[in-house]
Amino acid sequence: MTAKTTVKPTARLIEVFSAIQGEGLNVGTRQIFVRFALCDLRCHFCDSAHTWNAPSTCKIERTPGLRDFEVHSNPVPLPILLEWVERQNLPSLHDSISLTGGEPLLHAPFLALFLPQVRDITNLPIYLETGGHRPEQLAIILPYLDSVGMDFKLPSVSGESYWQEHAECLKLCHDSHLNVFIKIIVSQTTDPTELERAALLVAAVSPEIPVFLQPVTPLADSEKLTAKSILAPSPDQVLKWQALMKKFVPHVRVVPQTHKMLNQL
């Protein structure tokens, strides 16, 4: 008789901590952030290049918001991650759990097991931040999500191009009645025809989906791993681009990254 071996689910993490969300529809709310390692994109403006590869250790905040990190080995078994999230979940403190990265959808099989359990334990809504380019993986975890912040990557700014995948991901979220919004990073080099294409793509799914234009935050010297220096757009550019997109979708807001203003992690 052959012995049956069961693979225990594990995830490669960067960090777990409690913070104020600085982007998109949930801006200003308090979240437990679970930041996953690995990303398959290489956006020119990336401020999380440290997530591209899986480190041998991850940082876990002991007390919500105090940045009193413990260091643990990767990969992390599912029950241990549940314990860490539960420890963060002080009564009445958090509005939701944020799955971020990197690209969390690279961990879809793990998330399909983890999310129902973490929801049972915390009773908190689950929010996914994604590059919006992996519809197959998104479909796997869709039933466990409450809201999704999806990037549209403009080729003129990010160097990445995933129009078809963005359309598929957005449709999946909309058809599942999730609270979804689009985030588009804009810089001085933004091609307005790409913004028009993005607006038409959103309108084709539903004109009611909110779009956030996020002026790129210039990278600190220590973050300039991708070598290209990307400049924030001028006020004049942003005003024009918002007007351009509002011809097709009514809810276009311009919001910079507020967590950087607060000097938050």
Name the site residues for ligand SF4 (rule: CB under 6 A). 39, 41-43, 46, 48, 51, 101-103, 131
26-30: long-range pairs with CB below 8 Å, 24+: 26/95, 26/96, 26/98, 26/127, 26/147, 26/149, 27/255, 27/258, 28/258, 29/95, 29/96, 30/93, 30/94, 30/95
CB of 81 to ligand SF4, least distance (A): 20
Residue 89 or 158 with smaller CB distance to ligand SF4: 158
Sign of the dihedral through C-alpha 162, 48, 143, 213: negative
CB of 43 to ligand SF4, least distance (A): 3
Residue 74 or 117 with smaller CB distance to ligand SF4: 74
Residue 42 or 62 with smaller CB distance to ligand SF4: 42
CB of 49 to ligand SF4, least distance (A): 6
Residue 45 or 248 with smaller CB distance to ligand SF4: 45
CB of 102 to ligand SF4, least distance (A): 5
Residue 225 or 239 with smaller CB distance to ligand SF4: 225
Q: How many Cα neighbours within 13 Å face the side chain of 245?
A: 32
Residue 124 or 170 with smaller CB distance to ligand SF4: 170
CB of 69 to ligand SF4, least distance (A): 20
CB of 99 to ligand SF4, least distance (A): 13
